[in-house]
Structure 1
Amino acid sequence: MKIGFDAKRLFHNQTGLGNYSRDLVRILKEFYPQDTYVLFNPKNKTIPFFSDTELFSTVTPKGLWKKLHPIWRTYGIAKEDSLKELDIYHGLSGEIPTNLPKNIKKVVSIHDLIFERYPALYSSWDRHMHRKKFQYAVDHADIVVAISQQTKKDIAQFLKVPEKNIRVIYQGCSNVFKQTFSDDSLSATQTKFNLPKEFVLNVGTIEERKNAFSLVKAVKDLDTTLVLIGRETDYCKAIHTYIEKHHIQAKVVFLKNVSQLELAHIYTLATIFAYPSIFEGFGIPIIEAMFCNTPVITTNSGVFPEAGGPNSVYVDPYNISEIGFQITTLLKNPTLRNEIAEKGRLYVEQFQDHSIATQWHNLYKNLI
């Protein structure tokens, strides 16, 4: 098979959708090297976090399309000669180009419809454009793939796609989170970032939807340290104001410039991973934490029980006292922490590369 991918985020996004794209093409190449994979990249860029470009054929805009690269992936890809050789085109992030030849099977991955569920978090223009692109994609795709059962329900509700026409294939995570690390390497990262012996970790963009503020409030009166790793947004201003007002600067640590390997070390070093997000398409940091044998506290609704499995600890993300109580319970009980971590590590076996690659390969094969 010859499969083309929308590779904008693969090459130009260092987090969420970029990680999903890179991991998917990486594992397909690893487990099914006999197939051909073509990456459609709207503009050249040196990407240190994607080092496998020599294994793939890459297509970029030519001529006038170089100047029009923002719209090339929507309107220009269909004019590329290399496209005509494809069996399948896969839109990895909710979009597929217009006017693709009918003989090419079309697949689209939908990660979430947060712009529909929480419209106040988006401008009216962004909501309009997201809705237009997503609706076109699901209307013209031969198959729609959701990354969770929660997203499948949202696609059916908001985009009016019959649930029987939607497949769910979970996403995995980078192999760096599945490694076992030496004490020396962990100690070096702990020293570099001046991390305490025990701490509560949260990973993800520090924005309203991910709800880090509730964690800050929850640890205010607890004997622990909260470590936040993620890009700061305007939402973070209120968090910093709160921290200063209550004089807890020593209890809340913001880390920046953390490599993926260092992030895996920090997950492993963490006493607890706390993720009281309001809504996600999946919640990949939960999977990363469980692969690193770290017990998880997360939200008790939506996709989170799907990601965290039956043995994680679940809380009302708006209930500060409940979050604080569960953090305290785990901090005081290492036996319980170890039990949760061990069962979580067994649960995430379903997100191993070989399982995900097999599901995708079978889907592609059945399409053609």
Structure 2
Amino acid sequence: MRIGFDAKRYFLNKSGLGNYSRDLIRILETYYPQNEYIKYTPKFIGLGDDTVKTPSGILASTFPSLWRNKWIVSDLVKDQIDIYHGLSGEIPVGLDHTNIKSVVTIHDLIFLKLPHLYKPIDRAIYNKKFRYAVNHADKVVAISQQTKQDIVEYYNVEDGRIEVIYQGCHPAFKIPKSQEAKDQLRRQYNLPQNFILNVGSIEPRKNAFQIVKAIETLDIPLIVIGKETKYSDSIKKYIEERGLQGRIQLLQGFTMEELSTIYAMAEAFVYPSMYEGFGIPIIEALYSGTPVITTRSGVFPEAGGPSSLYVDPQNIEELRHAIEKVLQDSSLRQKMIHDALEYVQQFNDDKIAAQWNALYHTLS
């Protein structure tokens, strides 16, 4: 099979949808090399890779967004693509008028679930693109049961047209870390001996401010790793007002190998997010052998499994109590770590790759 991918995020996004795209194509190329995987992107910095396709001709090169959204169809036909996979909620207009089958991955519908977090124009654009994709793709794939339920609810898509295939994570998180590697990283970045961890963009939906408030009376440092937004300013102001500068660090810019080592160093991973399509940081923590505390509703129990502790993300006292429990009860910690490593095996690369290969074959 010749499978084409919307690879814009593969090349241009360093996290989130970019990680999803890179991990999926990586595992397919590893476990099913007999297929051909062609990456279509409006922009590519590199040379000599015949599996990467960019806009050709003056018009397409001048208007790469139009090429990606519509004009790319003629290139897909010319390249004899069998299946085109929109990795981030979009497929090109008019693809359904060709013999090329299509798949679209829907990660979340946050702009519909929490509309106040988005500008009206952004909501309108996302809604138009997603609605078109789920109604015209031959197969819709949700990254969780929660996202599948949202697609059915908001777009009235027939349940049988939607398949759930979970996402995995970077292999760095699955490699045990030596004490020497941890100590070296601790010295390099001046990290505390013991700490709890939160990873993700520092924005209102992720709710990191609640962790700051929850640990204010606890004797444990907090490290928050992620891209900063205006929301970060309110957190920094609170930290300064309460004299917490020595206990709370907001960091970013780590390599995947460094980040996976920090996960393995943490006493607990705390993730009181309000809503996610899946919550890949939870999976990263489970693979790292780090106990997880997260939100009890939505997708989070689906990602965290029976071994994690669940809280109301708006209840600071409940969150504080859960953190204390994990830090003080060593037998609970060991059980959480042991059970989590068993649960997370369902997200292994070979299993996810097999599901995707089987789905592609149903369309070929």
Report the TM-score, using the length of structure 2 for normalisation. Answer: 0.97
Aligned match of 1:242 in 233, 238, 241? 238
Q: Which amino acid aligns with 2:124?
A: H
Deviations 1:214-249 (A, max 9, x none): 001001111000100000001111111111111111
Q: Is the 8 A contact 1:43 1:66 kept in 2?
A: no
* Structure 2 residue runs without a partner (length 5+): none
What residue number does 1:91 align with?
86
What residue number does 2:72 align with?
77
Residue 84 (structure 1) shift:
4.5
Q: CA 1:81 to 1:285, structure 2 compared with 1: closer, same or farther past 3 Å?
A: closer
Q: Is the 8 A contact 2:77 2:100 kept in 1?
A: no
Deviations 1:160-182 (A, max 9, x none): 10112110000000111100122
Deviations 1:173-200 (A, max 9, x none): 0111100122211211111111112101
Q: Is the 8 A contact 1:203 1:285 kept in 2?
A: yes
Q: Which amino acid aligns with 1:326?
A: A
Q: Is the 8 A contact 1:77 1:83 kept in 2?
A: no
Confirm whether residue 34 of structure 1 aligns to residue 26 of structure 2.
no
What residue number does 2:103 align with?
107
What residue number does 1:130 align with?
126
What residue number does 2:18 align with?
18
Looking at structure 2, the residues matched to 183 and 94 of structure 1 have their Cα atoms a distance apart, in angstroms, of 41
Aligned match of 1:57 in 47, 51, 58? 51
Residue 94 (structure 1) shift:
0.2
What residue number does 2:276 align with?
280
Looking at structure 1, the residues matched to 307 and 49 of structure 2 have their Cα atoms a distance apart, in angstroms, of 39
Confirm whether residue 365 of structure 1 aligns to residue 364 of structure 2.
no
Residue 71 (structure 1) shift:
2.4
Partner SS state of residue 89, structure 1: strand
Partner SS state of residue 45, structure 2: coil
Partner SS state of residue 85, structure 1: coil
What residue number does 2:168 align with?
172
Q: Is the 8 A contact 1:39 1:56 kept in 2?
A: no
Q: Which amino acid aligns with 1:77?
A: I
Looking at structure 1, the residues matched to 224 and 78 of structure 2 have their Cα atoms a distance apart, in angstroms, of 43
Looking at structure 2, the residues matched to 301 and 206 of structure 1 have their Cα atoms a distance apart, in angstroms, of 21
Looking at structure 1, the residues matched to 88 and 257 of structure 2 have their Cα atoms a distance apart, in angstroms, of 25
Looking at structure 2, the residues matched to 287 and 45 of structure 1 have their Cα atoms a distance apart, in angstroms, of 31
Aligned match of 1:192 in 185, 188, 193? 188
What residue number does 2:346 align with?
350
Q: How does 1:175-254 map to 2 (within 5 A)?
A: 175-254=171-250
What residue number does 2:334 align with?
338
Count of residues in Structure 1 that have an aligned counterpart in Structure 2: 362
Partner SS state of residue 78, structure 1: helix
Looking at structure 2, the residues matched to 144 and 220 of structure 1 have their Cα atoms a distance apart, in angstroms, of 44
* Structure 1 residue runs without a partner (length 5+): 47-52
Residue 56 (structure 1) shift:
6.3
Looking at structure 1, the residues matched to 61 and 229 of structure 2 have their Cα atoms a distance apart, in angstroms, of 31
Looking at structure 2, the residues matched to 340 and 198 of structure 1 have their Cα atoms a distance apart, in angstroms, of 18
4+ residue runs over 4 A deviation: 53-56, 81-84
Looking at structure 2, the residues matched to 362 and 172 of structure 1 have their Cα atoms a distance apart, in angstroms, of 17
Q: Is the 8 A contact 2:198 2:225 kept in 1?
A: yes
Residue 81 (structure 1) shift:
5.7
RMSD over aligned CA atoms reads: 1.3
What residue number does 1:50 align with?
none
Partner SS state of residue 145, structure 1: strand
Deviations 1:137-162 (A, max 9, x none): 01110010000000000000111101
Report the TM-score, using the length of structure 1 for normalisation. Answer: 0.96
Residue 335 (structure 1) shift:
2.2
